[in-house]
Amino acid sequence: MSNSFVSQQHAQLRVKGFAIVLALHLLLVYALASGLARKGLEIIKKPLEVMLVKEQLELPPPEPLPPMKDIRMPDVFVARVDAPPPPIQLEPPPPVLVKPPERPREIQPPSPSAITISAPAATDNNAKAQIASLENEYAGRIRSMLNAAKRYPNSREARQLRPQGTVKVWIEVDRAGRLLGSGIEASAGTLLLDNEALRTVRNVAYSAFPAELFVGQASRRFIIPIEYQHAEGG
């Protein structure tokens, strides 16, 4: 079979199908226009309603509800949100026992008969005063010895200036009477007198300390004033 023949058959089939579809549409339009379709719907609707009513009538009766006394509601705990919290019970602290202060003991003054005055105390004071007097006497002897040994400066400058005044010298002497050191404690205002006073204290022989004086001291420092007057120079 040629291709042209096949094409003709396909065209004929399409024409027939189109004619059938057109005929059905025309029949439907006619049925709607004449009311035939509405009657067909009513005929179909009635058996359906009868079937629905029959099915409703044939439904089994509902089961009876159990009595209310046999129905037990579950326990439900409903918490109130607005209820205040239970008060907290606080135990009071134990009482603190405060011990009263002890009363001071009364001190009984001793009776006059129990007070005794020992005589050695007065004796000790007298001994100390006597020793202090001897120490001052030893320092006085040194002063007298230095002032007796002093010489007015004999230099030409001293004869021209004729200085006068008091030189305070310090000396340190050990217990054997040896001179350990010396110096000017207070100047007379001129080197002529100061140097002469130092020459004097360094050329004098000092006596040893008595055993009862300056106890516990290996040496003693003394400050001695030496006075100079121009008339003594001659």
What tokens does 46 get?
Answer: 């009635």
| Contact status, residue 196 vs residue 152, Cβ threshold 8 Å | yes
The length of the chain, given as a count of residues: 234
pLDDT of residue 91: 66
pLDDT of residue 233: 43
DSSP, collapsed to helix, strand or coil, labels residue 152 as: coil
Domain map (residue ranges) of the chain: 129-232
pLDDT of residue 45: 60
In Å, how far are 28, 29, 46, 51, 204 from 40, measured between CA atoms?
12, 14, 10, 18, 175
pLDDT of residue 205: 93
Pairing of strands 219-228, 179-186: unpaired
pLDDT tens for the chain, 234 residues long, are 556 666 777 777 787 888 888 888 788 777 677 666 566 666 656 655 555 545 555 556 667 766 665 556 555 555 555 656 666 666 666 666 666 666 666 666 555 444 444 445 556 788 888 888 999 999 999 999 999 999 999 889 988 999 999 999 999 999 999 999 999 999 999 999 999 999 999 999 999 999 989 999 999 999 999 999 876 444
Q: Name the strands in the sheet holding 219-228, side by side, starting at the edge strand that comes first in the sequence.
A: 179-186, 165-174, 219-228
Note the Cα 79 to chain centre separation in Å: 50
C-alpha to C-alpha distance for 214 and 220, rounded to whole angstroms: 8
CA atoms within 13 A on the CB side of 72: 2
- Domain 129-232, CATH: 3.30.2420.10
DSSP, collapsed to helix, strand or coil, labels residue 224 as: strand
DSSP-assigned states of every residue in 194-222: HHHHHHHHHSPPPPPPPTTSSTT-SEEEE
pLDDT of residue 193: 94
pLDDT of residue 69: 58
